[in-house]
Amino acid sequence: MGERDGSGEFIYSSLSVSMDTLARVRYAEADSVLFNSTTHRGNCLNNALEAYPGAIVVEYYWAGTGDQADFNWHSTRFVYVEYEGEWFLTAVAGDHWCT
């Protein structure tokens, strides 16, 4: 399903486990919701708009808190692609600070 930023290790996870984790997130409590915006906060590459030209990218962002605010932020991006007049969820990408 991808590789971990920083180490390049392959991510071993099933779609059902990943979606179960994503379903538990409280998206209504996000600090901001971005629409077709590329925001680089850390060292992770955000190339969703280049990888999926014409797509709709919705990013939910949660700011960090406390003394570690610069390091404990995270976001989730959903990429929707149009096919034959309908929009489909095509990719889900998580972003967070990594070392």
Task: Answer whether residue 45 is part of any domain.
Answer: yes
Give 36-48 pLDDT, tens digit per residue: 986 666 667 788 8
Residue 46 CB neighbour total at 10 angstroms: 19
C-alpha distance across the termini of the chain, in Å: 20
Does 99 score more than 60 pLDDT?
no
Q: What is the pLDDT of residue 4?
A: 66
Residue 71 lies in a domain: yes
For residue 9, is it within any domain?
no
The reported pLDDT for the residue numbered 59 is: 92
Count up the domains in the chain and report the number.
1
Nearest to 95 by CA among 49, 22, 43: 43
Does residue 78 form part of some domain? yes
Secondary structure (H, E, C), the chain: CCECCCCCCECCCCHHHHHHHHHCCCHHHCCEEEECCCCCCCCCCCCHHHHCCCCEEEEEEECCCHHHCCCCCEEEEEEEEEECCEEEEEEEEEEECCC
Q: Is residue 44 part of a domain?
A: yes
High-pLDDT (> 70) share of the chain, %: 75
For tokens 């901001």, what's the residue? Answer: 32
Do the domain assignments include residue 22?
no
Residue 16 lies in a domain: no
Please report the pLDDT score of residue 55 as a whole number: 96
Domain hosting 81: range is: 27-96
Q: What pLDDT, on the 0 to 100 scale, is given for residue 80?
A: 96
